[in-house]
């Protein structure tokens, strides 16, 4: 059975291998994508209170946020969605609940 992974990192230190990590062990591409969605949404929600506008929030995210990517996941479109639609439930940002268990 193929396992799926999510590549994560820090935009502030983009390209620095010490600031990149991989979360492995997802049973499906959908599970990895759900993790990436929640991870990015959590980053955006953490920055939302510091931003005066959607444009500023986008700038802050791409400057100081952390990213997540996986096969079949359009992170650019998801970032735009998250900026336009704030999270309304705790589970929207609870990516840790989706981490694969050994």
- Quote the pTM value: 0.93
**What is the CB-side half-sphere exposure of residue 77 using CA atoms within 13 A?**
4
- Give per-residue pLDDT as tens, 65-82: 999 999 999 999 999 999
Report how far residue 48's alpha carbon sits from residue 43's, in angstroms, rounded to the nearest whole number. Answer: 9
Domain residues of the chain, as ranges? 4-85
* % of the chain surpassing 90 pLDDT: 88
Report how far residue 73's alpha carbon sits from residue 56's, in angstroms, rounded to the nearest whole number. Answer: 24
Report how far residue 77's alpha carbon sits from residue 98's, in angstroms, rounded to the nearest whole number. Answer: 21
Report how far residue 18's alpha carbon sits from residue 16's, in angstroms, rounded to the nearest whole number. Answer: 5
3-state helix, strand, coil in the chain (%, to 5): 55, 20, 30
Q: Are 28 and 94 in contact (CB under 8 A)?
A: no
Strand partners, 66: 10
């Amino acid at each position: 059975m193929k396992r799926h992974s999510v590549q994560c990192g820090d935009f502030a230190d983009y390209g620095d291998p010490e600031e990149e990590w991989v979360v492995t062990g997802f049973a499906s591409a959908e599970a990895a994508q759900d993790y990436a969605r929640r991870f990015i949404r959590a980053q955006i929600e953490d920055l939302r209170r510091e931003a005066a506008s959607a444009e500023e929030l986008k700038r802050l995210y791409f400057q100081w946020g952390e990213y997540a990517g996986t096969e079949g996941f359009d992170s650019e479109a998801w970032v735009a969605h998250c900026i336009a639609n704030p999270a309304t439930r705790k589970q929207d940002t609870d990516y840790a609940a989706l981490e694969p268990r050994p």
